């Protein structure tokens, strides 16, 4: 198939693109290469994709989702079978200080993707949502049947908005859409703004790490390989319109959680990094930050039932693989310098 992957220089986008190429698909990847975090890492991901390229089955284009004319032209020219929208302005804390970036990328950009799908008869739109939509919900584990009407960050609000926009287009234009609520994704080639990346860097350099809420927060950390397997399974499982007990709207629309279904404490997470690094962390205790939640915990029963897949990588195994990559990667970077 011909597949559009937006955010293809990003962590999940790069990993998905690499797998799709190996599976024999043709991938058009787009990204605006913004400087939210180190652009050099994004460029290194793209270089790695060039090595994976076979028979011209990967093409990269530097395009911003907010560029309506370029996105419209791209859809008309390429006529994609499937679209996987992973491009977004990420980061809960960053959204507090930079709200306009989230409206532009996550709302305007997503609308342009929906319009492209609408006018070119895309068979399936799969898009990234986030576990952040659950906010401070008290019921555990988080189910896609739960209400998510009380976001506590603008990032979460934009992701919930994406789900509402997708449902509207599914209902009005019969476009099959599937939203994926990712739960704390980590692994090699990951995002430098994430805690596991920052902790590893600080521990190896002998600097203290900021530990919020005494390390008592819990996260449903999900290893990148499990995330990609889930995305691939969902791509092949195109939703159909079905009756609902709460609405007469007919829409080929679905939402899934993709999480490890086994939340671990920040304390266990830190211990896993210490063990992988072979170094004990120095800690700087801090209170809970604005926008943070005490726990994320994914109910993945629908994912298992519909796709037969359940994430299984333990935090210890996943962190070990990340730390091994980190040490090797930055050894190479330092040699360049």
Active site residue ranges: 155
**Other CB atoms within 10 A of residue 310 CB:** 14
Question: Token pair 């890492």 is at which residue?
Answer: 41
Spatial distance between the Cα atoms of 214 and 320, rounded to a whole number of angstroms: 23
Torsion region of 216: left, alpha or beta (phi above 0 gives left; psi -120 to 50 gives alpha): alpha
**Other CB atoms within 10 A of residue 283 CB:** 13
| Residues 6 or more apart in contact with residue 8 via CB below 8 angstroms | 14, 17, 27, 29, 30, 31, 46, 49, 60, 86
Cβ(163)–Cβ(133) below 8 Å: yes
Cβ(303)–Cβ(230) below 8 Å: yes
Which pair of structure tokens corresponds to residue 253?
Answer: 């629309």
Cβ(195)–Cβ(280) below 8 Å: no
Burial per residue of 244-282, b for 16 or more beta-carbon CB atoms within 10 angstroms, e otherwise: eeeeeeebbbbbbbbbbbbbbbbebbbbbbbebbeeebe
Spatial distance between the Cα atoms of 3 and 20, rounded to a whole number of angstroms: 9
Question: Token pair 């293809």 is at which residue?
Answer: 8
Which pair of structure tokens corresponds to residue 271?
Answer: 């211990």
Strand partners, 295: 218
Spatial distance between the Cα atoms of 151 and 308, rounded to a whole number of angstroms: 30
Question: Token pair 């040699």 is at which residue?
Answer: 335
């Amino acid at each position: 198939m011909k597949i559009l992957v937006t955010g293809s220089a990003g962590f999940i986008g790069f990993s998905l693109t690499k797998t799709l190429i190996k599976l024999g698909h043709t991938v058009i990847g787009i990204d605006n290469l913004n400087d939210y975090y180190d652009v050099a890492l994004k460029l290194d991901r793209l270089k790695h994709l060039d090595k994976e390229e076979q028979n011209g089955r990967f093409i990269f284009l530097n395009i911003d989702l907010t560029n309506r004319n370029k996105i419209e032209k791209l859809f008309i020219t390429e006529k994609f079978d499937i679209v996987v929208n992973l491009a977004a302005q990420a980061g809960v804390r960053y959204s507090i200080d930079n709200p306009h970036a989230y409206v532009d990328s996550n709302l305007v950009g997503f609308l342009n993707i929906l319009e492209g799908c609408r006018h070119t008869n895309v068979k399936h739109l799969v898009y990234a949502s986030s576990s952040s939509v659950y906010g401070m919900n008290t019921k555990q584990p988080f189910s896609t049947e739960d209400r998510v009407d009380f976001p506590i960050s603008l990032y979460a609000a934009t992701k919930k908005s994406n789900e509402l926009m997708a449902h509207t287009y599914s209902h009005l234009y019969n476009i099959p859409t599937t939203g994926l609520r990712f739960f704390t994704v980590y692994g090699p080639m990951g995002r430098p703004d994430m805690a596991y990346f920052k902790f590893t860097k600080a521990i190896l350099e002998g600097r203290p790490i900021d530990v919020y809420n005494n390390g008592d927060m819990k996260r449903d950390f999900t290893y990148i390989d499990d995330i990609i397997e889930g995305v691939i399974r969902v791509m092949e499982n195109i939703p159909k319109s079905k009756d609902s007990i709460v609405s007469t709207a007919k829409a080929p629309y679905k939402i899934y959680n993709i999480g490890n279904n086994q939340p671990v404490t920040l304390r266990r997470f830190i211990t896993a990094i210490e063990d992988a690094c072979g170094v004990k962390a120095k800690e700087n205790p801090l209170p809970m930050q604005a926008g943070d939640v005490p726990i994320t915990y994914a109910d993945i029963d629908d994912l298992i039932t519909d796709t037969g897949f359940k994430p299984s990588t333990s935090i210890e195994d996943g962190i070990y693989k990340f730390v091994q990559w980190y040490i090797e990667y930055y050894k190479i970077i330092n040699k360049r310098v």
